[in-house]
Each structure stands twice: as structure tokens, then as C-alpha cells.
A and B are shown apart, each in its own frame.
Chain A
Amino acid sequence: MANSDKTATPVNSMPRSSGQGRALLPIQRVVDLLRMPLLALATAFVLGAVVIFLTSGRLETVGEAYWGLLRGAFLKERGFSESLVAAIPYVFLSLGLAVGFKTGLFNIGVEGQFYMGAIAAAWAGQAIQGVPTIINLPLVLLAGALGGAIWAGIPGYLKAKTGAHEVISTMMMNYVAFRLTEFLISGPLRAQGAASTIQTPRISPGAELWALWDIPARLADPLNALGVGLVLGCLAWLIARAVSRRGQGSGVRGQAAGGKLQTASGDTQYAIRGTSFVVRHSSLIIAAAVALLAFLALPPLTRLWWPFTDRYDRLHLGLVLAVLAAVGVWWLLWKTTVGFELRTVGANPNAARYAGMSITRNVVLGMALSGALAGLAGTVEVVGVSICRCLPLFFSSGYGFDSIAIALLGRNNPFGILASAFLFGAMRNGADLMELSSGVSKYIISLIQALVLLFVAAPAVVRWLYRIKGAARADEAPLTRGWGG
């Protein structure tokens, strides 16, 4: 539009190196980032208190309810770890939503993809037998991710090719997924010989995601110890590489500080008192050392001392996977060309096309990644949490819809999502004790969560409530576009 630049704020007159951008103090940036979500959260709890007061007629009930919520979520026995257990699927699902949002897609079908991931994992878990965990578990995780990815990829393809809006098609796919899993559980995949319960067969032991208390026993198997060593080695390699890359950017400073220089090939050049020598492939050496150390030392060490001893604690390794997934999504979205394309397509598809990116490919990829993460959520529930290590009929979750609020509260930022997922996990976990101790229906939690969603989705309301003047426009970029957009 010829006229549109008139409305933009002119920075013409500004001196070059002042104001915005990186110049802000880190602490100010953090405050800026956290302000709106925290205000939304606080407002929702205040309004929740008002509703509790109005329905119960007693002011004390408000205190009892929130105290009960707090105790249930953190203070009671296993409260904290149960909150984490509930947060794990939330993390995967909201990461999935965030990837969708960043690609300009509103994947409202994560619940269905969760089910498809769960059923795919349940099938793969019982189909693959007699293989060590190090091979079995990744295969099952892959199956679950694929189940979700395919289920989300279909609406993605339909959107890219025909313009069918993903909100409608993923919502429809939800119902198909619900009925399809019911059919599979009660029909083809039903466990033979099981008495009254209708469920899939138990997955093979190698496919189980270990509970934390169980780790010393699991590590007794040398194959498992080897697997853990390899995984830790890979992680050490990635971290070492990332650190050495960062070192390159500020080579001079690195030299001044530690007498150590990084070169392009991952070699580390040491300079001590004028003489310098190069350690080739230093990251690989670090990785190998870590792997070996873990393989040899972890089994005896964990046998000697291990913090998790409670056999009824359900906290499992999915927690580590969830954190890794958050880091992975962050890296993918902001540090790779793949993420650059996804975000460009999400922010301005016309510019993406102009720049030579394929809209079709990126929309399908964005949906598939989103669905894969949702599928992983279902997978960890089956292989890490479910008591029968299987998928029972009437396996109810409701995680998917909460996750929309979590992704928005976390501002589609992977680390924000880790925090908000934990918060929602705690609320979900604490709700029962709240009901028990105060008589307030646990559905008040849904009300509070809905209010959070409302305030986060409509920041203007919060801004008006607290008289905050206009925030950066980019924060309120539309999360999804209209029909055929």
C-alpha cells in the first residue's frame, strides 16, 4: 500500500545506536517478557477466588481451596513429582502447538495426534520383542512420533493443496482418531486372555521408559549402561561443539581469558607460556570420555547412592526427554534454515514465496513436526506412565486442549513452555486435594485455566486492567490466519 508507511513509527530521526534491540538490559528484557503472562496468571487466580467466594459464600473457603491446591501440587507426598509427571505430556503437546503457531498453523488436533501416537507406540511396543532398550525404546518413540506426524500431516497436506483450514480438518481428525483407537484397542490390538479390562497387550520390557527409582536396577544390565553411555556421549559432543562454536565468535576474548583458542574444525588450540599446541577434534574426545566414564562408573555409583528410592514415585525419564525436546525445538526454530523457513512461512507466506521457499513443503512439515511432538506425548504416557504399560480403552487425557493455553502462556517459546507446562501440571495434580480439603469442585481449575487462556489471547484486556501502555506490536502477531489465508 502506498500509504501504509505513514502509519509506521518513523525511527528516521533517531540516533543510530540508541534505544531498542540489544541495548536493553537483560533484566529489563526478562521483566518485559514475563510481565504479561504473570499478570494474566495472577488475574485469573484472583477471578477464580471471586468465583469460589461467590459459590461457597465463605471467604475462608478461598484460602482452604488454594492451600489445598498448593499442598496437592507440591507439599503432599510425591506431590512435586506427580506435578512433573503431569507436566511431561504438556511439554510435548505445547511444543507441538508452538511449532504450529510459528508456522502460522493452529493445530487444534493435538489431542487426536496424542491418541494416534499412543496407539502407534502401544502397537510397536508389543510388536518388537527381545531387543535391548537402546534399540527398542528409540523405535517405539519413533513409531509414536510417526503416528502423530502422519495424523497431522494429512490436514497439513490438505491445507497446502486445497486450502482446507487446519482448524476444521484437525478437529475432524480428532474424532476419527478417538474412534479409530477405540476400535483398535477393542478389536485387532486387544490383549488376548486379559480378564475384564479391554486394553492393548503389555509392551516389551525393553520398550519401557524407566522410572527414576528404577534406574540403578536397570543399569545393572551392561547393555543398558552402554546405551546410557552412548546417549550421554552424544549430548556431551553436541554441547562441546556448541561451546567451541561460541568460542570462535569471540576468539580474542577467549585467548585473553583462558589461553585457549578454538578453530573451525572443532580443534582446540592451547597456548601456554608462548608455546601453543592443538588438540584435534576436541569435542569428539570429550564425547568419548564422557561415554566411557558413564558406561563404567554409573552402574556402581548409582548402586551406592541414588536420590530416587520411592517405588511408588511415577516420575520417569520422559522428564529428560521433555527438556531435550524443548532445547531441540528451540534450536530447530531459531538456529536452522528449516526453522527460518517455517517461521517465515508463518509470519508472511507471500514473502516466503518471494524468497523461494515452498509453502506446501513447509506447511506439511510444520504440521508433521507439530503432530510428531503430540504423538511423543502419547508415547511417553504409554511407555512411561500407564500402570499396565499399555493403552487401555477409555484412556482419557484432555491434555491436548489444555496445551493450547500452555503454549500461549509460554509465548510459544520452548523455555516459556517448560515453565507454563509445569504450572499447569501442578494445577492438574493439585486439583484433587483442593476438592477434598475445601469442597470446591476441581473444575474451578478449568475455569482458572480458561481465564489464563482468555487473558493471554486477549492481552489488551490485561493491559487495560493494569493501565499498561502499548506493547511491541510483534508480540500480538496473529497466531493463525483466516480461511484459505
Chain B
Amino acid sequence: MPPALQATGVIKRFPGVLANDHVDFTLAQGEIHALLGENGAGKSTLMNILYGLYQPDAGQISVNGQLVKIVSPHDAIARGIGMVHQHFMLVPPLTVTENIMLGQESLMGATKVFGRLAMLDRRTAAGRIRELSRQYGLAVDPDATVGDLPVGAQQRVEIIKALYRAAEILILDEPTAVLTPQEADELFVIMRGMVKQGKSIVFITHKLREVFAVADTISVMRAGAMVGSVKPAQATRELLAEMMVGRKVMLAIDKSDAHPGAVVLQTDGLQVLDDRRHVTVDGVSLTVRSGEILGVAGVQGNGQTELAEALTGLRRLAGGKMTLNDHDATRVTPRQLVEAGVGHVPEDRHKHGLVLAFPVRDNIVLCTYYRPPNSHGVALDYAAIERQAAELVRVFDVRTPSIHTTTAALSGGNQQKVIVARELSRMAGQGAAPDRRGAAPLLIASQPTRGLDVGSIEFIHRRIVEARDRGAAVLLISAELDEIMSLSDRIAVIYKGHILATVDAKTATREQLGLLMAGVAPAVTQPGHKEGGRG
């Protein structure tokens, strides 16, 4: 049987970048083919070429053994290729049926004479959707409004949308990024079912665990080139990581036991409103001690953003109290936190963390520009700033042509390293910065490695653990369960703005945390962690 989809010698250049360099890729009939690679490795470029969004500069593509030229997504769909993007292409106010029909509307026979003004035939479409939903085990209600559906269900709608257009080949771009571990497992069952019924699937991810859970074949890309393909049976996590990064990678962070000291950050019944004035953080009480990492686990959108903003003075508290090194910090401002030497790696590096239009140099002193040695009076001391920037760029291995390069020109990983370098270097008692007021340092890190490649993740993780070992208290907020489990000493699980439980990281299991993240409260709370209550 000819392969479902084959690309040979694909080359794609963008100004200054060779995004795909003679890439060969073969998707066999009825297999789940995982495509691994760091950001910028060229996975998305390759898939966008196969889906007709880009035209390759050179190379051939064949579908079911037939040489083809895919000029547009429309063309790709006609050839049975469907793609589910990482960011859903759905219209929230429309129903599931309407969303799926969009672009391929079925019309009522009698009204077709009106051309574009013909009436929609929702019933036939809904029937077909129910059929697909049964056939592949994709539970959705055709009449539900998409905006009301949880993320997992929206993803199922996207998959049905592709199947509705008779896709035989499905490309799933990082489908698990928005799912809990349990939801991801459900998705894998569905994928298995689809393959059994003859579909072929390309599954893009950067999570090694998932690859072993579901893939039949694994291909790894690096720096625009295809490094190789292996069967899961012959692969190990270490081998795959090495293929992705090009060198040996420490997957498990080597960390010694925590030696918790004095309480640094304590919150009591925090209540925070979101922009629409809904209570999104409700009664969160946490304690972070010097020398330990407290991880806050949870599916995205359960109040983590608002919690982090409240803790760092960016959002006002609606209720509750907060103390920092035994001083009341309920109404703390960002500048006071800078003065107290609290480091903050913000969740959204483009929104809060960086001024992209500024050179790297200016972003390095974004929080400390106003005090010596960076300035004297109102006059900035660029000589001192540049010395410091050059030093941090070297120590934190920021890959930039120069400290004068616009930060927007750096890759995501290097942008994040700029932030981490700045925040860690100015934390009290951590290297350069003086130990102001004898305070124990605190680091609040929100999604510190979101969207980064394995190499950068390893680097940043190691820095965070180092900060802890030097006595910093670390509050780590992350939606990546792997990150939480490998870094934290204790893990608090947040669900709909409540901390459901706080557990010891050593004894916590993926299943236990997954259930908590899905909102299933534990039968027995572990003793000794009384801050786990609902406030």
C-alpha cells in the first residue's frame, strides 16, 4: 500500500532562515506518526506546506502514492487532508453544527434557487455530526453553543470538522497543550479509534511522555532538518531528547532535598476578581518558605493568572491578606516588590515581561534602571548598564547577536532567558544584588517555560532549583504537570480559584494530581498541610 502522505526533499526558505532543509517525511496508512521538535525546528512549516498554507521552494508531495501540488487549504481538504490547529478556528457564538458547516454549508433543496440567500439545512448537518460523533467516540452536542463548551469539547468539534470534510489524513498541531492529563488520555483513545477505522494521523507535540503513549512512529526534526524516525519500542526519552536538542539533555532535574526555612510569603484567604469582575481566585491560602519550591498545578484558566498578578501587585486584592517576610504586603506595589528583591517571571513574556521594541540591554535593566549603578540621579549610566547586560547575557547563555539587538528579534527561548536573567540577578541575596533589609528572596515564576524548547527548559529549570538551593522561596505556577512534578517540593492544586489540596511532591502521583486538576476533591486531605482548605 502506498504511504498516505509523503514529502521528499522539501525545502522552504524564509528571509534569513532555512525553515525546511531537504525534509523527507512519510506517513504510512493507518498509523499515528508523532512529529517531535523544538520550537523553530520546522515542524509547523512542514505541516503548513502539507496543508497548503505555504508553497515549498523545492521538493515533492504525494498523497496515496499520487504526486500532487497542494496550493491551498481548500485543495488539501479536497485531497482528504484535515488539520486541527493549536489555536482553534471556531466562532464562539455559533453552535457546533453551524461551526462545522461553516464554509461547507448544506442548503435546503427547495431554496437553492436563491443562490447565496438559500436557507441552511442544519438538520441534515446535525445528523451527520451525530453519526461521526458515535462512530469515533467524539462526544459533542451539535446544538450546543461553542463558546459554552470546555476546551476539550471544542477540540473534539475541531476534529469532527475535519472528519465532516471527509479527511482521511489528520494533522493535529500540539493538541494536548490545552488538556489535563486525563483529557489527553481520552484524546489518545479517540486517536486510536480513528486509526482503527483507517484514518492516518500526524501528531505534533513536544511532550515526550505522550509520544510513547500513542505513536506508532516517531520522527524528530531539528533546525529545519529531519533528524530521523524511530519506533517507540526502540526509543528512550533520553534518546529522543538528544535527537531534538543535538546534545545530551538532563531530563530529570537533579535536585537535593529541600531545606525549608522561615516563611517568606504567606497568603490568607486571597480573593481576586478578573477583568470582568468575576471572582476568579477565591480564598487561596498559601505558605512559601525559604529554600523550597511550592508548585501550583492546574489546568489553564483556573485563576492562576489572576493569582500571580495579585501576588505581584499588578492586580488589586478583593479580599484576604498577604505577608512578605512578616511585613504586611496586602497592598504591595510592583515597585515595592522590586525594592524588596522579589523576582517575578511573568506568565506572558510579551505582555508584561519585555518591551520587545527595546534592545536586550534595556530589558535587562527594566526593573532596576532607576537606581545605582544603572543611573545616578536622572542620568542613565549606559556604561554600567552595558557591562551588566553583557555579563548576564554571557552567564545566562542568551543567544543574541549583541546586547543592542532588538528583543523582538530573539527566539522565544532567548527572550525568556533575558527575563530569567534579569529577575534572578536582582533577587535579594542572589549574586549581584545586595541583600536588602536582610529579607529572604522570593521568586514568583508563572509558566516560566511555556512554549520553550527542551534545551531552554532544562536551563531555566536548573536556574530555579539553584535559586532555591541558595535559600530563595519559589512559587512556581505552571500548567505543565511535568514541570510541576520535577521541580516542586510541595504541590498545591488549583481548580476554579480554590486550592483543592496541597500534597508532598515526593509522594504525589500523576493520576492523583490529574484528578485534582479535574476538580475531583480528595477523600482524605493529607495531614500537616492545612492551607489546602477552601478558605
A residues whose Cβ falls under 8 Å from a Cβ of B: 1-6, 8-14, 16-23, 248-249, 335-338, 340, 343-344, 347-348, 350-357, 469-470, 472-474, 477
A483 → chain B, closest Cβ, in Å?
16
Is B30 close to A, CB under 8 A?
no
Interface residues of B in 53-112 (CB under 8 A from A): 86-87
CA distance A227 to B44 in the complex (A): 69
Which 8 residue pairs across A and B have the least CB separation, nearest first? A5-B412, A356-B335, A21-B402, A21-B404, A10-B40, A356-B334, A10-B411, A354-B352
Q: Of B367, B403, B408, which contacts A473 at CB under 8 A?
A: B408
Nearest CB in chain A: distance from B306 CB, A: 15
A/B pair count, beta carbons within 8 Å:
155
Looking at B335, B379, B401, B450, the one whose CB has the most chain A CB atoms below 10 A away is B401
Give complex CA distance A17, B94 in Å: 52
What residues on B are CB-neighbors of A473 within 8 Å?
Answer: 406, 408
CB distance from B456 to the nearest CB of A (A): 9
**A23 touching B40 by the CB < 8 A rule?**
no
Is B352 a contact partner of A5 (Cβ separation < 8 A)? Answer: no
A1 cross-chain contacts in B, Cβ below 8 A: 348, 350, 451
Q: Which of B16, B87, B177, B351 contacts A350 (CB 8 A)?
A: B351
When each residue 359-402 of chain B gets 1 if its CB lies under 8 Å from chain A and 0 otherwise, what string results?
A: 10010001101100001001110110000000000000001111
Report the Cα distance A343→B356, complex, angstroms. 12
Complex Cα–Cα for A2 and B333 (A):
27
CB-nearest residue of chain B to A13: B223
Interface contact B450-A8, CB-CB below 8 Å: no
How far is it, in angstroms, between the C-alpha of A343 and the C-alpha of B86 when the chains are bound? 34
Q: Which residue of A lies closest to B173 (CB)?
A: A3
Nearest chain A CB to B298 CB, angstrom units: 16
Which chain B residues numbered 384 to 439 have a C-beta less than 8 Å away from chain A?
A: 399-406, 408-415
Contact A351 B366 (CB under 8 A): yes
User: Please, which residue of chain B has its CB at the minimum distance from the CB of A339?
Assistant: B380
A22 close to B402 (CB less than 8 A)? yes
Total interface residues in chain B, CB < 8 Å: 62
Q: Known: A1-B350, A355-B367. Is A12-B380 also a contact (CB below 8 A)? A: no
Which residues does chain A contribute within 8 Å of B380, judged by CB atoms? 335-337, 340
Check if A248 sits within 8 Å of B383, measured CB to CB: yes
Contact A14 B399, beta carbon cutoff 8 Å: yes
The verdict on B354 contacting chain A, using a C-beta distance below 8 Å, is yes
Please indicate the chain B residues that have their CB under 8 angstroms from the CB of A8 in the complex. 408-412, 415
CA distance A338 to B334 in the complex (A): 18
A11-B410, A12-B414 in contact; A21/B405 too (CB < 8 A)? Answer: yes
Contacts A348-B356, A351-B351; A11 near B344 (Cβ below 8 A): no
- Whole-angstrom CA separation of A343 from B369 in the bound complex: 13
Residues of B within 8 A of A10 (CB): 17, 39-40, 411
Of B353, B367, B382, B413, the residue contacting A12 (CB under 8 A) is B413
Are A347 and B355 neighbours in the complex by a CB distance under 8 Å?
yes
Most B C-beta atoms less than 10 A away, residue of A4, A19, A356, A477: A356
Q: Which residues of B contact A340 (CB under 8 A)?
A: 362, 369, 380
Contact of A336 among B16, B378, B409, B410 (CB under 8 A): B378
Do B399 and A11 have beta carbons less than 8 Å apart? yes
B414 adjacent to A11 (CB under 8 Å): yes
Partner of B334, one of A336, A354, A477: A354
With A5-B415, A8-B412, A12-B399 as given contacts, are A355 and B379 in contact (CB-CB < 8 Å)?
A: no
Give 9 A-B contacts (CB < 8 Å), ordered by A residue.
Answer: A3-B86, A9-B14, A9-B411, A23-B402, A248-B383, A336-B378, A344-B358, A351-B351, A355-B366
- Could you say which of B314, B333, B370, B375 has the most chain A C-beta atoms within 10 Å of its C-beta? B370
Neighbouring A residues of B382 by C-beta, 8 Å? 335
Which chain B residues border A357 with CB–CB below 8 Å?
335
Choose one: B39, B334, B337, B358; the contact of A347 (CB below 8 Å). Answer: B358
**Residue in B370, B401, B413 whose beta carbon sits within 8 Å of that of A337 in the complex:** B370
* Contact status B369-A20, CB under 8 Å: no
Query: A335 to B177, alpha carbons, bound, how many Å?
Result: 43
A8 to chain B, nearest CB (A): 6
A351 to B358, CA, bound (A): 12
CA distance A337 to B369 in the complex (A): 7
Which chain A positions have C-beta within 8 A of B375? 336-337
CB-CB under 8 A from B357, the residues of chain A are 347-348, 474, 477
Binding site for A on B (CB under 8 A): 14-17, 39-40, 44, 86-87, 177, 223, 312, 314, 333-338, 344, 346, 348, 350-359, 362, 366-367, 369-370, 375, 378-380, 382-383, 399-406, 408-415, 450-452
Contacts beyond the supplied A5-B412, A335-B380: 18 A-B pairs with Cβ under 8 Å: A4-B412, A5-B413, A14-B401, A16-B399, A21-B401, A21-B404, A21-B405, A337-B369, A337-B370, A337-B378, A338-B378, A343-B358, A347-B358, A348-B356, A351-B354, A353-B314, A354-B367, A473-B408
Q: Is the CB of B314 within 8 A of A6?
A: no
Of B15, B336, B366, B451, most buried by chain A (CB within 10 Å of CB) is B366
Residues of chain A lying within 8 A (CB to CB) of residue B450: 2
Decide: A11 and B400 in contact? CB cutoff 8 A.
yes
In the complex with contacts A10-B411, A11-B399, A351-B40 CB distance below 8 A: no
Given A5-B39, A16-B399, A248-B383, A11:B335 Cβ within 8 A: no
- Chain B, residue nearest A15 (CB): B401
B404: chain A residues within 8 A (beta carbon):
20-22
Quick check: A20 and B355 within 8 Å, CB to CB? no
| B337 and A356 contact, CB distance less than 8 A | yes
CB neighbours (8 Å) of B335 from chain A are: 356-357
Q: Is the CB of B410 within 8 A of A6?
A: no
Set B14, B336, B337, B401: member contacting A18, Cβ < 8 A: B401
- Interface contact A5-B411, CB-CB below 8 Å: yes
What is the CA–CA distance of A23 and B40 in the complex, to the nearest angstrom? 25
Contact A5 B451 (CB under 8 A): yes
Q: A249's closest neighbor in chain B, by CB?
A: B383
Question: Smallest Cβ distance from B37 to chain A, in angstroms?
Answer: 11
> Given B16, B351, B367, B401, which contacts A356 in the complex, CB threshold below 8 Å?
B367
Among A19, A469, A474, the residue within 8 A (CB) of B406 is A474
Residues of A within 8 A of B358 (CB): 343-344, 347
A288, B415: Cα distance in complex, Å: 49
B352 touches A351 (CB 8 A): yes
Which of A6, A21, A348, A469 is within 8 Å of B40, CB to CB?
A6
Minimum CB–CB distance for A359 against chain B, Å: 11
Q: Which residues of A contact B379 (CB under 8 A)?
A: 335-337
The CA of A338 and the CA of B15, in the complex, are separated in Å by 37
Within 8 Å by CB of B401, from A20, A338, A348, lies A20
Q: In the complex, what residues of A have CB within 8 A of residue B39's CB? A: 5-6, 10
Expressed in whole angstroms, the Cα–Cα distance for A22 and B386 within the complex equals: 13
CB-CB nearest in chain A for B370: A337
A354 to B355, CA, bound (A): 11
Decide: A472 near B406, CB < 8 A? Known: A3-B87, A16-B399, A338-B378. yes
CB of A351 within 8 A of CB of B353, answer yes
A354–B344 CA distance with the chains assembled, in angstroms: 9
B401 lies within 8 A of A19 (CB): yes
Residue of B359, B410, B412 ringed by the most chain A CB atoms within 10 A: B412
Quick one: which of B44, B338, B399, B403 has the most chain A CB within 10 A?
B399
What are the residues of chain B within 8 A of A3 when measuring CB–CB? 86-87, 451
Is A351's CB under 8 angstroms from B355's CB?
yes
A470–B16 Cα distance when bound, in Å, is 12
For A5, list chain B residues within 8 Å (CB): 39, 411-413, 415, 451-452
Enumerate chain A residues within 8 angstroms of B410, measured Cβ to Cβ. 8, 11
CA distance A16 to B400 in the complex (A): 6
Complexed CA–CA distance, A20 and B359 (Å): 11
CA distance A2 to B414 in the complex (A): 15
Q: Which residues of A contact B359 (CB under 8 A)?
A: 21
Q: Are A350 and B337 in contact (CB under 8 A)?
A: no
Contact residues in B for A6 (Cβ distance below 8 Å):
39-40, 44, 412, 451
Q: Are A9 and B17 in contact (CB under 8 A)?
A: yes
In angstroms, how far is the closest chain A Cβ from the Cβ of B244?
13
A355 with B40: CB separation less than 8 A: no
Tell me the complex Cα distance, A23–B400, Å: 13
